[in-house]
Amino acid sequence: MKHLLSIDDLSTDEILQLFETAADMHDVQSREVKKLPALRGRTVVNMFFEDSTRTRSSFEIAGKWLSADVINVSAKGSSTSKGESLRDTVLTVCAMGVDGLVIRHPASGAAVQVSQWVDAAVVNAGDGMHEHPTQALLDAYTLQRHLGSLEGRHVAIIGDLTHSRVFRSNVQCLTRLGARVTVVAPPTLMPSGIGAWSAAAGFETSYDIDAVLPEADAVMMLRVQRERMSGAFFPSAREYTVGYGLTRNRLSLLKPDVPICHPGPMNRGLEIAADAADAAQSVVLEQVSGGLAIRMAVLYHLLAGDTWGGIA
Amino acid sequence: MSLVIKGASLLGQQTRDLYVDDAGVLVDEAPSGAETIDADGLVALPGLVDLHTHLREPGREDAETILTGSQAAALGGYTAVLAMANTSPVTDTAEAATRVWELGREAGLVHVQPVGAVTRGLAGEELAELGLMHRSRAAVNVFSDDGKCVHDARVMRRALEYVKAFGGVVSQHSQDPALAGPAACCHEGELSGRLGLPGWPGIAEEVIVARDVMLARHTGSRVHVAHVSTAGSVEVLRWAKARGIEVTAEVTPHHLLLTTDLLTGYDPTYKVNPPLRPQEDVDALREALTDGTIDAVATDHAPHARHDKEHAFVDAAFGMLGIETALGVVRTALPDLSWSDVARVMSTTPARIAGLAEQGRPLEPGSPAHVVLVDPDTAVTVDRDASASLSRNNPWHGRSLTSRVVHTVYGGRVTVRDGALA
Ligand SMILES: [Zn+2]
């Protein structure tokens, strides 16, 4: 693994190995001294062309706990506003001797393109509507800790699929780990061509949340990305909540102890009711700590040199 | 200077010598003291005519100039190009059109015919001075807001009505902006869904083609559909032509050969507007060109400076080079197309649509000597660095294309000799 651009870059074994490393990293988090020397002398740049305090902090802490030198570059709007190309922007930063480049960009495919231009190991921290592989890894990691193996377990992914990179990475990651996945959205928020795609990739689609919830072993709610919506995707917030929200009433449809995930930030009262967000089976905060462990594992495997070895 | 072209096969049929007099006109008898071009084994066609070229001058001379674009055109076998109006400033006045025409004459390698904007500043609101552009020395006959769609039906209706007075034609970039959306950059389908790229659905083209066909019927005017890209548009064209509606259409070489699958790596070289479509559409376009539903091949040659393509896919500029390679791409996509059909779709018909009386003429005495000589049996591997264009956004780099343009003659002047600028 030279880069982590897509879940597609990882074999099933590599995913499971990342989970093992992440479990070790998770233990480190409870130590009094949280530093490991693994990436001493390595430089990691977090290059964020789009704001995300949560993902950026997670990568920053992950790098620091591994003793890397971590630099944050807020590149929001820089290339277009100064007339510089994306290629020039990243080459300029990488010319300073960067080992790892963690990139977040509002355009799909940006991380893939950047990986073709630079020598550094590139981690895709979210590219437009395309992928967010570390989010999918942390989601699957969190669910695996709750469910044991994901093999044969039924995961429902519900919400704005069209605009969701979390969905695109998760559907690959979960199916690769043997889960049965059903995605639920109104037809206007299903990506074009999802029929052929789901048939080829082996997941199911539904417009009916109430039919899917009772069968689910885990529920993943997606953020409604109102900022990406230029068109008439649904009539009103109220109608969306009634049709597709995880409301308090719907909690009773779930089998007991079914974990509820949300990648955050949550639109409370829209896609997820406060009662659901704060329910005992909500794993939202575990996702955050798991995210840190996963990002430590990813940086470790990409940059520590002795690829796929254990932790000293 | 007079010229003898020896042993060329006219339209791939009978072999004959062609004679060109001092005035650059084809004549009956060999002129004395003429330069001789050995055309043994070469196919002679009337010089190619491109209905759709972006020359970038004025405004973006770092990407292309009228001179370099003319050189690229000559190397591609062209003797006339229609220079699209979306330059900076826009070609929306008689003065701007005349300037482009003059620069084309100075370059002297092909006839550069300016296309006039339909609306002022391509804003889609007020008509540009269509009549004054027509009356200017540039004699503008084709009007287009290309790059943008004239999406207001009322404005489109008025434009079609207005140009009737002087036999003009409106060439439409068919893209409903609401259906395609502002960020549309990739064919809307399974692939765009997976890649997370904003889709540009075929229906956004088809509804405009259908609407414009009805407007052409209503106004009794001529509409030309630029770069048709979908099977649905072909169906509409077939319907319209069967009813005698005055509509013509063009297809680009790249839409005849490349498919949307090329976008899996997010390479902006393949970002073009309209986008590359799936194989079903490509097949329908090939069939429509062969049976005459689509009238012409037009390149949509769209040079861009490197830094305008080196952005994230959605932010990169639309367009690809195409004028040097068009003949080879058409021959590769449609190897069974006869040479007389190639001449029809790449020269005769485009000249007729554009109203260029001197172009696309049969290679017989009395016609201006606009001739391209093609080696039909040699494949060429495209090298983007060998291009005359100032830009390198060449989707054909490294590919092998059938046929080689060997010589180009523009008004009796040899512009390309043995594959190189003369
Ligand atoms: Zn166009």
Over residues B58-95, the pLDDT tens digits come to: 999 999 999 999 999 999 999 999 999 999 999 999 99
Q: Are residues A139 and A279 in the same domain?
A: yes
The predicted pLDDT at position A23 comes to: 95
Gap from CA of B301 to ligand 1 centroid (Å) = 10
Q: Of A3, A104, A154, A262, which residue is the catalytic one?
A: A104
Question: Which residue in B has a C-alpha nearest to residue A91's C-alpha?
Answer: B310
Instruction: Kindly report the CATH number assigned to the domain that includes residue A163.
Output: 3.40.50.1370
Three-state DSSP at B182 gives: coil
In a domain, residue B210? The reply is yes
The mean per-residue pLDDT over the stretch B352-381 comes to 97
From B159, B146, B176, select the one nearest B221 (Cα to Cα): B159
From B215, B217, B241, B237, select the one nearest B228 (Cα to Cα): B237
Annotated catalytic residue A168: no
Low pLDDT (below 70) residues in chain A: 77-82, 227-231, 306-312
In a domain, residue B97? The reply is yes
In a domain, residue A310? The reply is no
Q: Does B40 show up as a binding residue in the annotation?
A: no
Q: Please list every residue in chain B whose beta carbon sits closer than 8 Å to the beta carbon of residue A80.
A: 311, 315
Q: Is the pLDDT of residue B300 over 60?
A: yes
A85 contact B CB<8A: yes
A87 contact B CB<8A: yes
Q: Are residues A34 and A109 in the same domain?
A: yes
Angle between helices B202-219 and B231-242 (to 10 degrees): 20
pLDDT in tens, A152-194: 999 999 999 999 999 999 999 999 999 999 999 999 999 999 9
In a domain, residue B286? The reply is yes
Q: Are residues A69 and A141 in the same domain?
A: no
In a domain, residue B420? The reply is no
What residues contact residue B238 under an 8 Å CB cut-off, 6+ apart? B288, B293
Count of domains forming chain A? 2
CB contact under 8 A, A194 and B313: no
The mean per-residue pLDDT over the stretch B130-135 comes to 98
Q: Are residues A204 and A216 in the same domain?
A: yes
In a domain, residue B90? The reply is yes
Q: How far is B278 from chain A (nearest CA, A)?
A: 12
In a domain, residue B26? The reply is no
Gap from CA of B271 to ligand 1 centroid (Å) = 13
The predicted pLDDT at position A312 comes to: 39
In a domain, residue A178? The reply is yes
Q: Of B300, B375, B383, B385, which residue is the catalytic one?
A: B300
Q: Are residues A95 and A144 in the same domain?
A: no
Q: Please list every residue in chain A whose beta carbon sits closer than 8 Å to the beta carbon of residue B267.
A: 113
State whether the Cα torsion B401-B286-B76-B35 is positive or negative: positive
Gap from CA of A149 to ligand 1 centroid (Å) = 52
From B174, B178, B161, select the one nearest B127 (Cα to Cα): B161
What's the whole-number average pLDDT of chain B?
A: 97
Q: Is the pLDDT of residue B232 over 70?
A: yes
Question: Which residue in B has a C-alpha nearest to residue A86's C-alpha?
Answer: B311
The predicted pLDDT at position A287 comes to: 95
The predicted pLDDT at position A298 comes to: 97
pLDDT in tens, B165-210: 999 999 999 999 999 999 999 999 999 999 999 999 999 999 999 9
B163 falls in which pLDDT band (50, 70, 90)? Answer: very high
Q: Are residues A103 and A137 in the same domain?
A: no
Count of domains forming chain B? 1
In a domain, residue B264? The reply is yes
Q: Are residues A141 and A40 in the same domain?
A: no
Instruction: Kindly report the CATH number assigned to the domain that includes residue B340.
Output: 3.20.20.140
CB contact under 8 A, B196 and A80: no
Decide which of A30 and B334 is more confident.
B334
Alpha-carbon distance A121 to B15, whole Å? 62
Q: Are residues A71 and A155 in the same domain?
A: no
Domain assignment of residue B251, given as a range: 47-361+379-398
The predicted pLDDT at position A310 comes to: 44
Domain assignment of residue A32, given as a range: 7-132+288-303
Q: Is the pLDDT of residue B49 over 80?
A: yes
Gap from CA of B146 to ligand 1 centroid (Å) = 4
